[in-house]
Amino acid sequence: MPDSERDVKRWDGVAISAGIAQVLAWVATLFMAFGPIYQGVSTTATTPGGVAETVRTSATLLEANGLSALPLLLTPVALTAFAATIALTARIKPSTRRVYLWVAAVLLLLFCAAGIFSIGIFYFPAAVALVVAAVIGSRRTPVGAR
């Protein structure tokens, strides 16, 4: 197989992995924006020896925090979109493409680490897919494979 065909197949794998990362980031963002993230229960005693009233509440991240949470939710989407665009752009040199993919992957991993106990854990699958894209894009053609 000629080197150019091998290179095209490798970058197809990078594009697929970056696309998967993009989809996973959107799924996490939409779930946190519109899913019941915050849940609570409150109990109120109505009479001294009587019946207690229990109220269950739930709210989405946007309901609880307002639109100020939107940039935080869209940061991983932007990073994965950047990586997918880089993977699909043919005019960029492969060495530059590798650097951009690793920068996006490391930034997303740092985002996940910073928010590991809150929203970061939801974006971890997208970060793993982006690291896979960066690893595939960084592989070099073996010397004896020509």
pLDDT in tens, 87-124: 988 788 888 999 999 999 999 999 999 999 989 999 99
Specify if 99 maps to a domain: yes
Distance CA 11, CA 26 (A): 22
In the chain, DSSP assigns E strands to 38-45, 52-59
CA-based end-to-end distance of the chain: 8
Specify if 42 maps to a domain: no
Range of the domain at 26: 3-36+63-145
The per-residue pLDDT for range 5-34, each reduced to its tens digit, is 555 566 788 999 999 999 999 999 999 999
Specify if 43 maps to a domain: no
Total domains, the chain: 1
Specify if 56 maps to a domain: no
Specify if 46 maps to a domain: no
Distance CA 83, CA 18 (A): 6
CA distances from 129 to 60, 69, 124, 144 (A): 26, 24, 9, 29
Specify if 49 maps to a domain: no
CA distances from 30 to 34, 76, 127, 146 (A): 6, 12, 17, 45
Specify if 52 maps to a domain: no
Read off the pTM. 0.80
Specify if 53 maps to a domain: no
